[in-house]
Amino acid sequence: MNTKTTIQTVVTEKLNAKFLPRYLEVLNESHMHNVPENSETHFKVTVVSDAFEQKRLIQRHRMVNALLSEELAGSVHALALHTYTADDWAKKQGSAPTSPNCLGGSGK
């Protein structure tokens, strides 16, 4: 049994504890980028929380970035954030944008 806690698990646990989300999805999208196999460097986070009520998008992102500052200072290279209130999420019909394909750092 692997007892190593993954970054994805840590991120999920922190977001659950802080924001008590109505919906949370933390996807490791590292495989879509030019990184070694089994990396945990690129994540897409979708979180729906009452904590975001009356907060502008930049404020929501700052809240998440502050919570995950340790991970962002470490091995997490990219964090795509999709932060919604329950009303926002309903308007989006329960769907966050799809992440684009990685350009591999070549710009092509």
Q: What ranges do the domains of the chain cover?
A: 34-93
Per-residue tokens: 59: 């404020």
Is the pLDDT assigned to residue 25 strictly greater than 90?
A: yes
pTM of the model: 0.85
The answer regarding whether domain 34-93 maps to CATH 3.30.70.80 reads no
Q: Which two tokens stand for residue 69?
A: 């500052």
Q: Which residues are within 8 A (CB) of 85 and not within 5 positions of it... i.e. 6 or more apart?
A: 48, 49, 50, 52, 53
Give the residue from 41, 54, 62 showing the smallest Cα distance to 87. 54
Chain-centroid distance, C-alpha 105: 21
pLDDT at position 106:
45
| Alpha carbons 40 and 4: distance in angstroms, whole number | 13
More confident residue, 104 or 71: 71
Sign of CA dihedral 58, 61, 67, 70: negative
Q: How is residue 43 annotated by DSSP? A: E
